[in-house]
Structure 1
């Protein structure tokens, strides 16, 4: 044993001996909870606590009522001090002997560590692996060891905590609300929304954005027109379903109070006193209240929209002039899909605003389970380290510099939030409603997607489609190219698959949406708002770069041979329509012939 170790052991022994002396004195002094110096009976000062070991040595005795002559003289060993010293010497001897034999004494902290280690061992035995934040043998946790030891439960939890696009920063929305002139008593009622999750989310966002611009002090959130697997029937109000069937409404309500406290968000008009019913309230299409420069339904410059609204209400709403908290007025807003120009805002607001809306964790968890299964099946990561282990990823090295004029952190996401060579995400839009609308079908879309997989050197495709027939065709055509195709139905465990089947058509689409967000590269169809939202949301990541809007026609004829060339599809002239690339960035491509929807009207 080195001299330094002997000195350290001696110091530890001395401190232990000091504690032993104090304990011995306490035991030898009945009626006293702890040692206190003898004080003068006439003194009113509080007794001082001992600060060093020398404070434990008594000073000259103060005379008492017991005569000194009556006290027997005692040897040192007969006194409590002598006994304490003898006990201390024995303790010191034992400690020094232990140090010389190389067995250091255990402190209470060491005992605690031993207990924790035993507890960790029990956890490892119970779960089959050591938790990701506790590597074996007290070794430092690394990304490699964390992923190897990560349990499925930990994987799911990390997935739910770490959205690809980052967490919500409400500050940019708060700044907009703070700059808005609100009109006390104006109640903005969003009409029923319909369609798939791409449409429903965009309609809700547009209604909320109009309500803020109007200065409403209350917004009544929309309900959703119920629809079934007959997708071309967008549903009706009888019955309608609550917004919470597709979105985490509790999250929105909590975040909205922080983002825009000037406007109350409610689920119904219940509790709003003196409010007229919808049938007696003014109804408007917000992009038709005046003449605006537009692209399709999109108002390209909404600068004067508030002025136009106030003028419209003055002329068309009887209760507007008497508007107050005591005399509220409801305005019913009709459906608004892709109305508001996203690029009219600064980037911070454009990225933050849609993050107020997120899907329920109970459905997102199924997507996480599918990705976990894909990792185990394929044998390589599918969700990035930046999502699963943010505490281990060096944020300083991976973060972009914050712009000087930015007050938000939403634009500072680092790269590598997606796995570079994981899988291609594909949205094959050939369900019944698409075919009924005569959209370019399988033979127009599938070749473009499979070409993209080979271009990206991705041998695994996650396929999202509403047609079981075309799913089988896509598998066969992909296999001919050496590409493996997986779907959520392939990946989910038995119990998870049972949960999936309980969900509605649109709820199941959320599972696909969340998995596609994590794809290394994504390919979708131009007439699908579902595809657009995925591409635009991924477009905020650094790797996406600058998107290109093109009209480049495919260089090859979009026809397949063999299994894919079925008579019923070949006879459909829409399937022979050449694919035109519409949008491409570093993470996504959206293809097809469609120019009536303005991309800047899609919120990520």
Structure 2
């Protein structure tokens, strides 16, 4: 028997051994659990820091208010004059620019402004952008950021939530006066107004012809209607052109979703992404495909070369090969187009027709966001989802889009702030080509090219 000779010694030793063994086992379990908890906490902390840093980078550099203040200081604001910018329509690029242009005219006129609004695109027919359904600024943009930044940049300008909040509005002289920004120069060249500095004088003369006089006790309400790329954005200087667009920031939830897309890209494909930098080299390629129904209907493929899928794809493929990047982030409002693009790119690379054979991965925001994030993304509208794409494409190592859409122009012009080139075509013959972005093709490839270079605030 085990305990027959010295029972108490053996039994005591065995008991101690069992206690030690179980203590170690219990310690190991607790230690392993602690490690797991710590590791998960560390990952959550790292993700939180990444998201916070990435959300802070929406432009190449933070806003510098000095150029905006200099322009506003010359405006001579006056009480009793109110401008509104209602039901601006189009995609992100055009709506954003229309709002900025309306604010710029209000500064010229020396009046207050109501927080702008926009027209809601028809969800069942995305070609229908001029609906009668009005949505507020925060449908796409950060309302409070707009108010705060415009107030900081233009402290003389008063900003109101509603027309009814304007002092003595019920005593206004008459119903709102409709005005189009370029009606004082209807024959201006494609580059924009020849004499934007004279707009205030022309505006005051126009008011006089309406037999109205701006007075605090009898306000004048001017409703600025939509015109198209007629304001030469660099007339106030390059610094103003660079900074003015920063008064409009995309809504927080879309900026957070874009930051989460970047985090997933970093985790799975692009470890070189730096959330504090606007553009990380050697991370991923940004591809904007403009082949949705509204685009093909507006720019018919029989006339517009890059409305043809094959031609648009081919330009993107050759640029992907040139950059050597292996992760391709694709933005398109048509998933079928993305699927065809991925299949054809894989076939092209596998066939050996490219300069080198390599594996590439094509991803979209839908591939990278899962669970609650994916459900949140799916709850957004066509234009709201495009905000996420805009921000991710803006951060890409290399970017390409077409010339007949304001969306890629907006991205490319914003990125150009980081370029070593002052002009847009120093690296080649494309309409825009710098070390970060390409707007594909030459003027001869398009029936006409809208003056985005002259009329878009980055």
TM range (shorter): 0.7 to 0.9
Counterpart among 387, 391, 395 of residue 514 in structure 1: 391
Could you say what secondary structure the match of 1:295 adopts? coil
Is 1:194 aligned with 2:123?
no
Counterpart among 226, 241, 261 of residue 370 in structure 1: 261
Is 1:159 aligned with 2:13?
no
Q: Which residue of 2 aligns with 1:534?
A: 411
Aligned residues: 403
TM-score (norm 1): 0.63
Q: Which residue of 2 aligns with 1:318?
A: 211
Q: Report the Cα distance in structure 2 between the residues aligned to 1:501 and 1:278, rounded to whole angstroms.
A: 47
Is 1:491 aligned with 2:402?
no
How far 1:457 moved relative to its partner?
1.0
How far 1:503 moved relative to its partner?
0.6
Q: Report the Cα distance in structure 1 between the residues aligned to 2:173 and 2:406, rounded to whole angstroms.
A: 29
Q: Which residue of 2 aligns with 1:502?
A: 379
Unaligned residue ranges in structure 2 (runs of 5+): 1-32, 350-358
Is 1:331 aligned with 2:180?
no
C-alpha contact 1:202 1:337 (8 A) present in aligned 2: no
* Distance verdict in 2 for CA 1:379–1:514, change over 3 Å: closer
Is 1:470 aligned with 2:337?
yes
Q: Which residue of 2 aligns with 1:204?
A: 99
User: Cα RMSD (Å) of the superposition?
Assistant: 2.4
Structure showing greater radius of gyration is: 1
* Distance verdict in 2 for CA 1:164–1:271, change over 3 Å: closer
Q: Report the Cα distance in structure 1 between the residues aligned to 2:395 and 2:402, rounded to whole angstroms.
A: 18
* Distance verdict in 2 for CA 1:457–1:544, change over 3 Å: farther
C-alpha contact 2:234 2:240 (8 A) present in aligned 1: no
* Distance verdict in 2 for CA 1:193–1:291, change over 3 Å: closer
Alignment of 1:154-553 (within 5 A): 154-216=49-111, 218-227=112-121, 228-237=123-132, 239-272=133-166, 273-275=168-170, 280-290=175-185, 293-295=188-190, 298-315=192-209, 317-320=210-213, 323-382=214-273, 384=274, 386-387=276-277, 417-437=278-298, 438=300, 439=304, 440-480=307-347, 481=349, 482-543=359-420, 546-548=423-425, 552=429
How far 1:496 moved relative to its partner?
0.6
C-alpha contact 2:173 2:219 (8 A) present in aligned 1: no
Q: Which residue of 2 aligns with 1:99?
A: none
How far 1:149 moved relative to its partner?
9.8
Q: Report the Cα distance in structure 2 between the residues aligned to 1:158 and 1:256, rounded to whole angstroms.
A: 23
* Distance verdict in 2 for CA 1:150–1:274, change over 3 Å: closer
* Distance verdict in 2 for CA 1:551–1:236, change over 3 Å: farther
TM-score (norm 2): 0.82
Q: Report the Cα distance in structure 2 between the residues aligned to 1:318 and 1:280, rounded to whole angstroms.
A: 13
C-alpha contact 1:190 1:333 (8 A) present in aligned 2: yes
Which gives a bigger RCO, structure 1 or 2 (Cα 8 Å, sep 6+)? Answer: 2
* Distance verdict in 2 for CA 1:550–1:436, change over 3 Å: farther
Q: Report the Cα distance in structure 2 between the residues aligned to 1:311 and 1:124, rounded to whole angstroms.
A: 75
C-alpha contact 2:285 2:398 (8 A) present in aligned 1: yes
